[in-house]
């Protein structure tokens, strides 16, 4: 995936889309050329660094995808994230980082203290 599609800074979707929209053409070309050298890419991606309308259409498509697929579920996702953060904070308060790590996902994640690194 090209780096310009995943800005390093956190923010609201509108802010992230604004960052994608502001990606310099040179960076668009460079990242897409690097990807194309390793794997097949859709033909339209070659125009990203040349035609501002193509980038605009990509950003508009990302916005529409977010609106349709994620916006309806955002309140539930945020509520679950908040509940999970509260749970991790309680674990930390009552047992430190060791308790947080041992209770992350017992079936998939195993923590055996001590860890030297």
What is the reported pLDDT for 116? Answer: 60
Kindly compute the dihedral angle of the four CA atoms of residues 46, 38, 40, 17, in this order, to the nearest 10 degrees: -50
Distance CA 47, CA 54 (A): 7
What is the reported pLDDT for 111? Answer: 75
What is the reported pLDDT for 94? Answer: 95
Number of other residues whose CB lies within 10 A of the CB of residue 4: 19
What is the mean pLDDT of each successive set of 10 residues along the chain, which is 117 residues long?
83 91 93 94 90 95 96 96 96 92 82 69
Which residues, other chains included, contact 47 with Cβ-Cβ below 8 Å and sequence gap of 6+? 54
The radius of gyration of the chain from alpha carbons, rounded to an integer in Å, stands at 20
What is the reported pLDDT for 10? Answer: 72
The answer to whether 48 and 29 are in contact (CB under 8 A) is yes
What is the reported pLDDT for 113? Answer: 72
Kindly compute the dihedral angle of the four CA atoms of residues 104, 107, 113, 115, in this order, to the nearest 10 degrees: -80
């Amino acid at each position: 995936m090209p780096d310009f599609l995943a800005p390093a800074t956190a923010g609201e979707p509108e802010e992230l889309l604004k960052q994608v929209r502001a990606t310099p053409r040179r960076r668009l070309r460079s990242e897409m050329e690097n990807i194309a050298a390793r794997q097949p890419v859709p033909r339209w991606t070659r125009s990203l660094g040349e035609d501002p309308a193509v980038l605009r259409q990509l950003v508009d498509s990302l916005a529409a995808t977010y609106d349709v697929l994620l916006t309806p579920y955002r309140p539930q996702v945020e509520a679950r994230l908040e509940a999970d953060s509260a749970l991790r904070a309680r674990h930390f308060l009552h047992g430190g980082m060791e308790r947080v790590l041992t209770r992350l996902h017992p079936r998939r994640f195993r923590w055996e203290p001590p860890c030297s690194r």
